[in-house]
Structure 1
Amino acid sequence: MLVWYCRIVALMSILSALSPRTNERIDRLPDYILFSLGFLLGVPSLGFGVLMLMLAAAVRRRKRVAWWLLMVLGVFVGPLGWLAVSYLFDDLTWADLQPLPPLIVSFLIQAVFVALVVWARKEFYAVFDAANFRLALVVLGVSAALSTLIGITLVAWNDANPHTDLGDQALYTLKAGMAGTGLWWYDTAVEVPHWVDVAVNFLGSVMILAVAWALFQPRRGSVRHEPRDDARLRALLDKFGDQDSLGYFALRRDKAVMWSPTGKAAVAYRPVGGVSLAAGDPIGDVEAWPGAIEAWLAEARQHAWVPAVMGASEEGGKVLSRFGLDAIELGDEAVVEVDEFTLEGRAMRVVRQAYNRVERAGYRTRIRRHADIPRPEMAQLMRRADDWRDGAVERGFSMALGRLGDPADGQCVMVECLDADGVLRALLSFVPWGVKGLSLDLMRRERGTENGLVEFMVIDLINAGPEHGVERVSLNFAMFRSIFERAGRIGAGPFLRLARVVLSVFSRWWQLESLYRANMKYRPVWEPRYLCFPKARDLARIAIAAGRAEGFLAFPTPRFLRRRRKCEPAPEPAPAPEQESEQESEPASEPASEPAPESDPQTDPTTAATPPQQG
């Protein structure tokens, strides 16, 4: 009920602000009626409407701060607010209270509203999220200056009264920007068309939105988990890392960690736009997963975050479904079994030809663990990877480590491709997947190089797998793979074909189909991955949060403003706690991994196909 009250007041405020006759109607009303209508129908201001919409969202999420704002609204707006203002600033007389019946009705409505808010107090349990006040103040200063400058210019250009000065126009701009001009008791002689009022009020609304956006942006440099979390996660990965190919990505330092009561399992997640976004299965003993999931969901409830998991395996999806989360198939991960891979046969003819063509051109690969690469060479590789990145925005969250060259990641594998002159032309970086597996993290190549270069590197890695103790390699994640595959079969229905057409359109920007076809060449084992979520109505918010986390909805930073990425220092190692005796459990279904090769022999692949690393 309170949510819809805020929404209705917001709608009425916006509509009345757009109406050209609102000021005339306001002038004919007594002050106490005006305050009562403001309580019931809002203020003729786009900015106030925006604030009420934001308040409605906070009420829906049961934020404790929303309850206090409702109490302020209930006590200080309406006839009680009018009485307080009149008593403090005007000479309030009995005549001002006439006629009494409308005033009494207004008081009753206000009392019912306040009583309803007090009665619902226990429903507002969600704590206030940490706010970025410094950024909000900067945005407030910049946006206020810009909106004031533009607003005064608009008012001055369209003022029909030749006797007004800049002071009158500035005051009018302030009135129109903060609320409807007819609400202010101090009037000016400025005469402008109604569209100027709306335009200036719109600038004020944009300022409010900008400040609200900045207020809840994460502070730069904030550490999501402590060095002790790193040490404990690595201890679990050493023991249970074979379960999930996405497990190593829990070590991203922008992910918080929620532990089970026994410390035998953990969920790595990141709060993004009101969504607690996790990726992959929980880390650790399957028997301890429920404890970690319960703790993660409890924190999400405390903050009114929507819990969501991207890329859960089938086993992880089953466990999460016990806690009320639904699941839909997001796509499939391509896993290549080293022992079963071969270039022989007609099915591999295209890949074999691409491999031989690149080999004849004089290209060769070098495969090393990160720990075996000298620091000066690693620094050079990091610079080249940065130069080859497609776009200014770092991408990757669920299937990218977010860094390169960290000394703590010494067991990662680097595949370098050099041309006939020994010049580096491409590189791949893989993170450990347990003891005998690798999962693709980073893929970069120089533009204009030979087609099939990535295939050449991947095949060389697979062929060298036994030498490096690698039995399986996880390549790129292909979203909606089943749709592309089934829609190409005979007898595919019209809805399936239509879905493929729609996805093909989006593939122009996100390479959905090209990633599927690039992975299909290796004839991999397809491991399904799922998106887990509480309710279908939350999917839009989850999609936006996932897009922000992965870097697809980020504002790109101009290249000349980006600092050269440097090797991020490893956190101080903390001793892992003693592990209590545990029962060995059967590993859950074989998990999946992440990004993989990109190019099709028919297309010129670029680095955009993979999530890049962050410095």
Structure 2
Amino acid sequence: MKFISRASVVLRTYPVTVSVTILLIMTAIVTGNLTQGAAHLSSLDLGAGITSTLQDQRWWTILTDLFVAHDLTQFIIDLIASIVLLGVAERLLKPLRTALAFLITGLLGVGLGITLQVLGTAAGEWWATGTRTLETLDPLTPVVGVLLTATAYMSTLWRRRVRVVAIAALLVFVLYSGAPSDIYRLIAAGIGIPLGWLLARGKTRRSLEHSPRLVRRRLLATMTAVTAVGPVIALTQPSGLAPFSLVSGIISGNVVSASTVLEQCGQLVHSACTKSLLLASGHGTGGVAMAFVPIAVLLVAAWGLGRGRRFGLSLAIVVNVALAILSFIAFNILSLFSDLPEPGWSTLSVVELVGSTLLAVALPLAVAVVLFLNRSYFPIRSSGHQIRRFAVVISLSFAVLFTVTLVTLVIGAASTNRGESSWALIWTSLKPFVPLHLFGWVHVAHQPAFAIGLLIFHWAGPLFWVIFVIGCIYVLANAKSETLVRDQRRVREILKTGGGSLGFMATWPGNNYWFSPDGKVAIAYRVINGVALTVSDPIGAAGNDLQRIHEFSSFCDRHHWTPVFYSVHEHLLPAFETLGWQKVAVGEETLIDLASLDIASKAWQKVRHALNRAARENVTTSWTRWPDLTPDQVSQIRGISEGWVSARDIPEMGFTLGTAAELEDPDVRLMLAIDGDGRIHGITSWLPNYRDGVVIGWTLDFMRRGENSVNGVMEFLIGSAALHMKEAGNAVMSLSGVPLARKPQSPKSSDVGEGEIPPSATPASTTLTRLLDFLAQRLEPAYGFSSLMFFKAKFNPHYETLYMAYPDPVALPAIAIAVGRAYLPDVSARKALSMLRNLAG
């Protein structure tokens, strides 16, 4: 009875998915396509194509194409796609829109695809002419169309993810395989995206002008991976009709049996035998493995690109440039134009041949250029020690394996009395380390005839590249300056003696460090535009502020930098006044005295309501660390964070504003709001504040709420964190600083609701304060600094102004640029001005 009840719920929720799945199973049983061959399939007259649909006037094949699988492999794929992808889409679209999208994208995808083939055939185009007699059975076409239609109803993060992955996968098959069904799917996807927008009435359209750094890196990594996987598809489906199908030629060749050639040649040496031996020397198991070397290296490079590694960028650029050169040699581009046109060739055929060949060279070269132009998105560099160690290991490995191969060839030549020259033996020894066609134009010696020699000859190259790939993975996985790692350890030790409420930000990526001569004080800074911009106060035990500031200033002078102390607290101002420096308020920090916290008081009334509401919704908190999270929780947090970033048409800020990357620090604590089903509604992160080796408080850094989260989840999380810290005996809780904001004055802070802006104090006006006020007004609609300030006011805090201190007013333009680039490192000056104009408009 329980099973019937569940089945009824599934049928009511997913009627289209269930119906399509049943139809796929029924047609597979009735047609017998799972066990019969192609002849049986063509006899059923169910496939769509120019011949069947138009010439034979079997119009119904456009419909049957959507429900009949071609063979067992496709049936399994279609069945899984129907249950999973169609089910996900139907949950978003609801049954009626799902059925509509299924028919529209499926029928138009196949119909327009056939029309495209007709037009191409009439023009004499290669692909259309070569595929005109083929028939397709592909239920995956409407499934892809429905999935892309449903992306309009997804969150911004998942919409972008699904579209990028789906379109990339579809393009790979179109460009490297070129089967008619590949074109039909791409057309269905292209119809699905605007169809979804129409069904959703345009509510979900977003601009991608300011794509976040993480998203851009992933797009570039995906592009690199696609160019790596493409040749594999071209090899497995060698129709030769796809635009990039020729790319597979640089890693393949005519298979020749080495043993057969050696047996036929015997002791004779002539041109035909040499040519056959040359071909044979590139084949065998090792030769097949060598075909996949560029693919493996590019996939490793793509993995490094996704992690922001500069070494991965260099690797991807070098491999793609090498593939372009290899393609140029393999296809003999220089002689291509002199051999054309041949009698009977149409102009279109000539253009297609030349175009496909040139594309094989241009594609990897274009990828290399795009990666080079976007090199700023890959800032994480490996240390010089790691690079040197990698170079030494790779060089020694190559030298040893090359020497062994050369000795093997010399022994083989001596045993057969072949008079090979030294240069021929050297060239032949290099051959196992590169794909087949690179030395195809050079006369080389043959491979050894004895068993051990053949084993060494065929496997020396693959073994070298295995070592190379492992070395690359090691460098990419450990791409951190060892000096910087040591400095970060020192900073963490000094930080425990004292660092202020914002001191832990010094541990974030992107900072450099200055240490006092006695090693007891450190200052974290970033050099931008000739300005050494510090991250809050000096770190270490209090005292000797004037001396530390003077020592750091002298250090900056030696490097011709302008020292600027940013987000420093008021207790440092006397030292700056002594030095004659200027100061300006750049933000406000909100602090809560945990000892006097009374959650039952009127001042905490709104927070108390949020706590009660969460309790009614069965939402609880978890005070934890990133290493202690479950894989599901990690996935949810990343999804919430990336969704928040992707939903905005503005770049994410950094510097003193943490991102999701800082959550993984084991010293950082996380406060999660979790319901009874394990769904995370919101997350806050807390940075430790040390004094004399003991945590005396925590500073709020990262705040994100999930979609459809319980109302007041941020108030609930911060209020719960305050209660937890008070119970743990902590003295102070900081809600961190808010850039370009002023503390509210009147009415009472605790009576201010979220989004309500009370009057603020008006400091003495200067050119710089007017500029900051202008920026605050322009950036407020996008980043909501004032709204955030007044949201924090409901926690009844007290305020401490944060200042920027600088020695020379003449340097203010350079300082302003440095601060802007610190917060928005991915935005150029032109983009910044454009963003300000858009916000003002």
TM-score, L = length of structure 2: 0.37
TM-score, L = length of structure 1: 0.49
Select the structure of larger CA radius of gyration: 2
- Between Structure 1 and Structure 2, the one with more helix by share is 2
Which structure exhibits the higher relative contact order, with contacts defined as CA atoms closer than 8 Å and separated by 6 or more residues?
Answer: 1
